[in-house]
Amino acid sequence: MKPLDFILLHLIFVYLNKLKMKNLRLKSNRHFAVILFSLAIAIAPLHAADGQANYLPPGEPQATVLLAPPPLSDSAEQAADLAEVQAVAHSASSDDKAAAFSEKKFDVFNFTPAVGDFFQPGKLPKTEAFFHRVQKDAASVTDGAKDFYKRPRPYVVDPSLAVGKLETSFSYPSGHSTETMTLALVLARVFPDKQNAIIAHARLMGWHRVEIGRHYPTVIYAGRVLAQAIVREMNANPDFQKDLAEVKAEVAAAQK
């Protein structure tokens, strides 16, 4: 519960205490319902605001319009998709799998190998906050699409692929692929001379998810397409452009 929620609750209880002090009693449960309904109406906009994107217009990009539906569960395409996951997962090296598991939680500083050792958390506050907002926006787009398509993950279809701590969310499109490529496309604006290395690192992080049976290849590819649409929408936002300019300035100062 947010601090403002507590304030509203406090005001309600103060009001109830005043009623009690005046020897007024609530005559039925209906009065409680009215009060609770009023409280819910007051608090709801606060939570709605919490869900607003930083740089994306409401409802954009529409992943379910942009992306083709995933393969049908009983189709030859699904069988081929699963077969590739099985082949990739069973042939992946222990180092690749270890890297994949280490990336379960990630942020823009996973790209430090591609950018340079100076690019570290805690040293670039504007940059860190900016990319946190970018990643949060990308995640909100993929979450809605996953719940719409409800594609089971590969290890649900083939339990032999189930290793490590398993996610409970659906599979299409890949959150890792979408978020890492979104971060990469924006980060490449800050470091244009390192664009190829940054994009390659995002592709690798997405592919790691196939190597541990978390996603199908088609899910990874869908995430990359969705990332391009997300960044296109962000580029049209003046706040995004302003914040990006501040990030570029902060990074330039740090490199002097």
Tokens of 172: 């299409």
pLDDT digits (tens, 9 = 90+) for 59-69: 999 999 999 99
pLDDT of residue 51: 60
> Measured on CA atoms in the order 163, 166, 171, 176, is the torsion positive or negative?
negative
Which residues lie below 8 Å from residue 212, measured CB to CB, with a gap of 6+? 89, 92, 97, 100, 101, 163, 164
Statement: residue 25 has pLDDT above 70: no
Statement: residue 212 has pLDDT above 50: yes
Whether 230 and 98 have beta carbons less than 8 Å apart is answered as: no
Tokens of 213: 């049976």
Statement: residue 168 has pLDDT above 60: yes
Nearest residue to 164 via CA among 220, 104, 226: 104
What CA–CA distance (Å, rounded) separates 199 from 183? 9
Statement: residue 96 has pLDDT above 60: yes
Nearest residue to 181 via CA among 106, 236, 248: 106
pLDDT of residue 40: 37
Please give the mean pLDDT across all residues of the chain. 85
Q: What is the mean pLDDT of residues 98-111?
A: 97
Statement: residue 103 has pLDDT above 70: yes
Residue 100: C-alpha distances to residues 64, 95, 203, 223 (Å): 27, 9, 12, 17
User: Cα(first)–Cα(last) distance of the chain, in Å?
Assistant: 43
User: 37 versus 104: which is more confidently predicted?
Assistant: 104
pLDDT of residue 130: 98
pLDDT of residue 21: 44
Q: How confident is the model at residue 52 (pLDDT cuts 50, 70, 90)?
A: confident
pLDDT of residue 156: 96
Statement: residue 9 has pLDDT above 90: no
Q: How confident is the model at residue 149 (pLDDT cuts 50, 70, 90)?
A: very high
pLDDT of residue 256: 83
What CA–CA distance (Å, rounded) separates 110 from 176? 12
If you count them, how many residues does the chain have?
256
User: 36 versus 126: which is more confidently predicted?
Assistant: 126
What CA–CA distance (Å, rounded) separates 242 from 95? 40
What CA–CA distance (Å, rounded) separates 110 from 89? 22
